[in-house]
Amino acid sequence: MATTRRPRGILIAFEGIDGSGKSTQAALVAAHLADTRARHILVREPGTTPVAEAVRRILLERGKHAPGPEAEMFLYLAARADLYRRVILPALARGEFVLSDRCFWSTVAYQGRGLGLGVSKARALSLIATCGREPDLVVLLDLAPEEAARRRRGKADRIEARGNRYLAEVRAGFLALARRARGRAMVVNAHASPDMISLKILARIHALLRRRRRAAPRRGRG
């Protein structure tokens, strides 16, 4: 007798330094999925759940009580663990698309490399927080820190205020992750227009779906 398996959802993360346009692209893809009536959710890291949003406020606030490097990394990990347990993993189990504005790559790039806490350590701890779940695709919007600063509106938050030298190290960390991720990463020149970038991303997502359909086992007879 044939068995029916629930389709596994697809996790797509959008990464890059602030100002690269990752949030814009996540929203554009979400709008496309809504137009096609595909089941999906849009989340952000850190954030989305009440616990993670409270952590976000702590992390971005400037002042003498700001967390140190180690505390900063563990706060991001705590927010991620709550988001995955409460929202992301259940949605994937239901077979939905999950679009995430940032993923554990940010911890590896910002804290692991940028703050010198160790890339391997940051990755290992992040995968504990995600229960081992990695994105099926990471879209990296690549942009120079100087251009990102020109695009920024309003006062820089605590992370942005570390300056272009720090963000250049973070950018290098992202690009190193993309090289190691091979087929799971897509590096996009963020200087292009948002519409052109969106078309490229959607083409990659459709290619991912085609590969998944070809790899899916055929239902047997019984």
Strand order in the sheet with 97-101: 40-44, 97-101, 10-15, 137-142, 185-189
pLDDT of residue 146: 94
Q: Which long-range contacts (CB under 8 A, 24 or more apart) does 86-91 make?
A: 86/49, 87/41, 87/43, 87/48, 87/49, 88/11, 88/43, 88/130, 88/133, 89/131, 89/133, 91/9, 91/41
Consecutive sets of 10 residues in the chain, 222 residues long: mean pLDDT of each?
62 96 97 96 98 95 87 98 98 97 98 98 98 98 94 83 94 98 94 95 94 72 47
Bridge partners (DSSP) of residue 141 are 188
pLDDT of residue 220: 53
pLDDT of residue 217: 67
- Which of 124, 88, 114, 102 minimizes the C-alpha distance to 46? 102
pLDDT of residue 222: 45
Architecture of domain 10-215: 3-Layer(aba) Sandwich (3.40)
Bridge partners (DSSP) of residue 15 are 140
